[in-house]
């Protein structure tokens, strides 16, 4: 939704996890980031606008929280895209491009993605691992 496409909206939702009620749903920041990412994958928001929003200077103080939550959102979106039957290929291309842009724009760290994302093939496609099979074997051990 358009209401969450501002740095202020991101900042307002960047509350420490320990301040949330125990039975809370997703962290409010994850909800905003998920909405933004979905808008990009659905071609409702330009990837460059997404990157510019999250790179805003006023978000510097929450950068570690932002990176961690964004990595989680990318993991979840990967599951969503895999579960889609129709238009999976287009969504996957846009999703992969979004992650690549996020890495390039320093919105998320490659090492963090290696720890969070489960798809060795995706990590290979992103250039984060050389050999998807070897990476997968290393994860299984």
Give pLDDT tens digits for 3-36: 467 788 888 878 777 776 666 577 889 999 999 9
Sorted by sequence, the CB contacts under 8 Å of residue 66 that are 6+ apart come out as 10, 14, 29, 33, 54, 59, 107
| pTM for the whole structure | 0.80
Q: Is 87 left (phi over 0), alpha (psi -120 to 50) or beta?
A: left
- Residue that wins the pLDDT comparison between 6 and 113: 113
């Amino acid at each position: 939704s358009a209401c969450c496409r501002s740095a202020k909206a991101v900042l307002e939702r960047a509350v420490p996890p320990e301040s949330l009620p125990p039975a809370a749903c997703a962290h409010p920041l994850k909800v905003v980031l998920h909405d933004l990412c979905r808008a990009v994958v659905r071609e409702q928001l330009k990837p460059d606008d997404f990157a510019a929003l999250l790179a805003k200077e006023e978000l510097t103080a929450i950068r570690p929280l932002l990176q961690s939550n964004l990595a989680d959102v990318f993991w979840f979106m990967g599951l969503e895209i895999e579960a889609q039957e129709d238009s999976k290929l287009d969504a996957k291309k846009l999703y992969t491009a979004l992650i690549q842009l996020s890495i390039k724009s320093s919105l998320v760290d490659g090492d963090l993605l290696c720890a969070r994302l489960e798809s060795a093939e995706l990590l290979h496609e992103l250039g984060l691992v050389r050999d998807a099979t070897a990476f997968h074997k290393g994860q299984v051990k």
